[in-house]
A and B are shown apart, each in its own frame.
Chain A
């Protein structure tokens, strides 16, 4: 269970850092200055640095603590690290949690799509809203997956 909790929280941190990075890029791009024949772009490298550092630490930790030690790095890297299917019971719990996360997309995506109607009203104050809205669908689904998995495991 610890593996699923750690990996789910790590994924959420990763999505937040990605949203931070892209919103930062968006903000930097809008500040881009074009002077006659020259074009200047300034990027804040802090979000990228945070993402890279976290990504490296997370990759090393996750690979070393993977439940199925027989998986090579190539096989492991294309799987969701939150999945834990050590035995048949965990496979059933993972299936239920994945289904719950899928259902959560069916609820969160239409709500967020609806919220875009009001986007022109707050576009200036929150220009990166679409990025955070997309990140939040992933975060909600991951939280739903994690809570359903914990509940199933403790049952």
Chain B
């Protein structure tokens, strides 16, 4: 079950670069790139850090594809 996310959309809305977001959540830019591509599933801790940056609940940013249908 792939995890889909709205990180790219929210990052654009908050006018953050991949580097900015990476720095805010304490990962490398490459991790943000992989996350946006959907090739990396973040840990709960990273997901919560991202949710905190965007001030949105985790489940509104990360969704299991099956749940969406």
Comparing B3-11, B26-34, B50-58, B60-68, the segment that makes contact with chain A is B26-34
* Complex interface: chain B residues within 8 A of A87 (CB): 26-28, 31
A155 partner, pick from B27, B28, B39, beta carbons under 8 A: B39
CA distance A137 to B26 in the complex (A): 36
Bound-complex Cα distance A117 to B28 (A): 49
How many A residues touch B, CB cutoff 8 Å? 7
The reply to whether the CB of B15 lies closer than 8 angstroms to some CB of chain A is no
Our pick among A86, A88, A155 for the contact of B42 (Cβ within 8 Å) is A88
Is B27 touching A88 in the complex (CB atoms < 8 A)?
yes
Q: How far does the alpha carbon of A90 sit from the alpha carbon of B40 in the complex, in Å?
A: 11
Contact residues on B (Cβ < 8 Å of other chain), bracket:
10 to 19
A89 within 8 A of B: yes
Q: Which residues of A, 132-155, contact B by the 8 Å Cβ criterion? A: 153, 155
In angstroms, Cα B33 to Cα A87, docked, is 14
Q: For the complex, what is the distance from the CA of A104 to the CA of B28, rounded to whole Å?
A: 29
Which residues of B sit under 8 angstroms from A88, Cβ to Cβ?
A: 27, 31, 42-43, 45-46
State A155–B27 Cα separation when bound (angstroms): 17
Taking a contact as CB atoms under 8 Å apart, the answer to whether B40 and A89 are in contact is yes
User: In the complex, what distance in Å separates the CA atom of A25 from the CA atom of B43?
Assistant: 51
Residues of A within 8 Å of B27, CB to CB, are: 86-89
Query: Could you tell me if A86 and B28 are in contact, using CB atoms closer than 8 angstroms?
Result: yes
Whole-angstrom CA separation of A88 from B28 in the bound complex: 9
B34 with A90: CB separation less than 8 A:
no
B13 CB to nearest A CB, Å: 24
Residues 90-121 of A at the B interface (beta carbon under 8 Å): 90
Q: With the chains together, A155 CA to B33 CA distance in Å?
A: 10
Q: Which residues of B approach A to under 8 Å, CB–CB?
A: 26-28, 30-31, 34, 39-40, 42-43, 45-46
> Assuming A88-B43, A88-B46, A89-B28, what are 8 further A-B pairs, CB within 8 angstroms?
A86-B28, A87-B27, A88-B31, A88-B45, A89-B34, A89-B40, A90-B28, A153-B30
**Pairs of residues from A and B, 4 with the lowest C-beta to C-beta distance, nearest first:** A87-B27, A89-B31, A87-B28, A88-B43
